[in-house]
Amino acid sequence: MAIWLVLLVLLVAAWALLRVQRLRRTQPSALPAARTLFDLRTGDIVQCDGRDWVVEDRLLYDEDGFQWLEYLLRDGPEARWLAVCEDDWLEVSWLEQGPPALLRQLASAATPFPDQIHCEGLTYERREEGRASATSSARTMNRHLASCRFADYEAEGQRVLSVERWNDDETEITIGRRIDPAALALLPGDGRSVYRPAG
């Protein structure tokens, strides 16, 4: 009888141990790891200027081995780009779509890019230009985007402007400002897009 009792106690202990192990596997781990400007993911939150922006895509640009990041951020219908470039020092820019009139003007212009661009009362001087490939992390298909020609411009007051020509026929312009990375709060999300339908 004592043997049966010992076997029953061992069986109950083994069952309890297996149950605890299963619960540990199904329960989410501790809080998600803190994010940096180099590892934001879809669904993460970037707080800037008192607003919460959701990361919707992450583009990694590569120009002959030199790389930089641009994150597509959304807050409702509005979009912004957070550009992160680490060269001799960290440069972070907060960008939005450029004015349509400037887009039309530059889309019809021949390359190379102009030395100066006049926009919204400022004169932007070309700082650099080149060709880069881009890879998206949020897309299921077409992760490797076509290469683009780009030119980066600067104006007084930490103002920046970027022109990208994709496949030599589609022009995109973003305009904005350099920002102090400390002005941003980066919060981990759940890894899911808020604005794209679940697939």
Residue 141: predicted pLDDT: 47
Do the bridges between strand 51-63 and strand 45-48 make them parallel or antiparallel, or are there none, so unpaired? antiparallel
Asked if 88 contacts 125 with a C-beta cutoff of 8 angstroms, the reply is no
Mean of pLDDT values over 73-102: 95
Identify which of 1-5, 43-47, 194-198 has the greatest average pLDDT: 43-47
Find residue 96's DSSP bridge partners. 175
Q: What is the DSSP string of 52-67?
A: EEEEEEEEEEEETTEE
pLDDT > 60? residue 29: no
Tell me: the pLDDT tens digits for 164-192?
Answer: 998 877 889 999 999 999 999 999 998 88
72 vs 4, which has greater pLDDT?
A: 72
CA nearest to 179, candidates 164, 153, 162, 157 = 157
Tell me: the pLDDT tens digits for 33-61?
Answer: 889 999 999 999 999 999 999 999 999 99
Q: Please name the helix (run of DSSP H) or strand (run of DSSP E) that holds residue 108, with its range, or none.
A: helix 100-108
Residue 169: predicted pLDDT: 76
Instruction: Give percent above pLDDT 90 in the chain.
Output: 62
The pTM for the full model equals: 0.80
pLDDT tier at 67, thresholds 50, 70, 90: very high
CA distance 1 to 123: 94
pLDDT tier at 15, thresholds 50, 70, 90: low
Task: Share the mean pLDDT of the chain.
Answer: 86
191 vs 152, which has greater pLDDT?
A: 152
